[in-house]
Amino acid sequence: MSEGLGHALAGLVRAARLGWFAMVMATGIVSVALQRSGSGWPSAALLFVALGGFAVCTVANVLRAAVFPADLAAELANPGLAFTAFAVTAACVVLGDRLVAAGDHAFAAVLAGAALAWWLAMVSALPFTCSGRRRARLTPKDVNGTWYLCAVATQSLAIAVTFVHAGGLLPAGLAFWAGTGLWLLGAALYLSVSALVALRLQVAGLGQNEPTAPYWVAMGGAAITALAAAQLTRAGAGPATIGRATLAALALAFWLLAGCLIPVVAGRSCWRHIRGSVPLRYRADLWMVVFPAGMYSVASFQLGAVARSPLIRYIGVVAVWPATAAWALTFAAMALSLASGLRKPAGSSVS
């Protein structure tokens, strides 16, 4: 019994992926959305789940890096998977943002520092790993929705600047310049990836059996760009950078874009399962659907406060519950999948 469990856990470690941190991103942002809607106990419960998930994902990936380093190197060399590494940065910041609301500025600052360090490492490494010795050149088929995570991670750092400044660790001038600079870089990355994804879809299309969950990050990327701009505006990033009015207008534009993308990605996802032969089962990339849903709610709350729009804020209140339902269904499916994996006989792999 214990030997079988040991084999199962070893398989789980080898199956670990940096993309698993999308579960932490999703759980953390739904916790933030619930907290801002006034649902204190559910929000606190999800915060503990997110912290537990962060610990599990960290330990599993550290063990994999130590025991199976070739697997990690292969993941970072695969353009279809490599950008999921940016989920680590976003997970750290989302947790930090929620911890600030709980009054823990010190741990939030530590997570912000870890997020920046990981982001710098990935920005430095991925251009080389994804175009290394075994790849002559990138092709349109190498591009997918996970590439948006580089923009999501960059915008999350802009958000981190605001709560680190609020904790008294960054002077206002430096915070606003750094935050606005990161926001502009994140917006540029978002638009660049959108152009690459559009080219990929035009040249190579999207296969009937190809996962569509990663493309939800296009909506999540627009939503976090709106949230970061609104949060910087609310924090006082003013005329010394690009101006509060400009930031507020850009926040509204990206929020509208996120809203327009919802029926597009939802329709494609439903069509794939209703008309295709693809069964609906748990996949780790389903958290990339939950995260944008929660992020859209939080962005609506923040933009509603900045724009003084009860309607936008009400949209945020309404959006909390589909995001929470999506989280509950995905978490239940994950738990069942893990339980099934642990019951497999020795030699079986955990999907």
Q: Summarize pLDDT for 333-347 with one digit per residue, the tens.
A: 999 988 876 665 544
Query: How many CA within 13 A on the CB side of residue 222?
Result: 20
Q: Return all residues near 63 (Cβ < 8 A) that are at least 6 apart.
A: 13, 16
Residue 139 is predicted with a pLDDT of 78
24-51 residue pLDDT tens: 999 999 999 999 999 989 999 999 999 9
Residue 176 CA to residue 235 CA, distance in Å, equals: 8
* Average pLDDT score over residue span 54-73: 94
Minimal CA–CA distance to 142: which of 70, 191, 82, 221?
Answer: 82
Question: Which tens digits make up the pLDDT trace of 162-215?
Answer: 999 988 888 888 888 899 999 999 999 999 999 999 999 888 877 767 778 889
Find the DSSP H helices in the chain: 2-15, 21-36, 40-67, 69-77, 79-82, 87-101, 105-129, 149-166, 172-203, 217-235, 244-274, 287-307, 310-343
Range with lowest mean pLDDT among 107-121, 131-145, 176-190: 131-145
Which amino acid does the sequence have at 319?
A
pTM metric for this prediction: 0.91
Predicted local distance difference test score (pLDDT) of residue 281 = 80
Q: Residue 1 has what pLDDT?
A: 47
CA nearest to 193, candidates 161, 225, 165, 168: 225
Between these two residues, 265 and 6, which has the higher pLDDT value? 265
Is residue 342 classed as helix, strand or coil in its secondary structure? helix
Predicted local distance difference test score (pLDDT) of residue 342: 60
pLDDT category, 350, cuts 50, 70, 90? very low
Q: Which residue has the tokens 């809607």?
A: 37
Least confident residue range of 60-64, 129-133, 296-300, 301-305: 129-133
Q: What percent of the chain has pLDDT over 90?
A: 66
- Taking Cα atoms as reference points, which of 211, 222, 342 lies closest to residue 285? 211
Average pLDDT over residues 329-334: 94
**314 CB-near residues (< 8 Å, 6+ apart):** 304
d(Cα 140, Cα 66) in Å, to the nearest integer?
33
* CATH top class, domain 2-130+138-275+282-343: mainly alpha
The pLDDT tens digits for 261-284 are 999 988 877 776 666 656 678 888
Ranges of each domain in the chain? 2-130+138-275+282-343
In the predicted model, what is the mean pLDDT of the chain? 88
Is the pLDDT at 134 greater than 60? The verdict is no
Q: Can you tell me the distance from the alpha carbon of 351 to that of 349, in angstroms, rounded to the nearest whole number?
A: 6
pLDDT of residue 283: 86
Name the residue among 87, 95, 14, 2 with its Cα closest to residue 47.
95
pLDDT digits (tens, 9 = 90+) for 11-28: 778 888 999 999 999 999
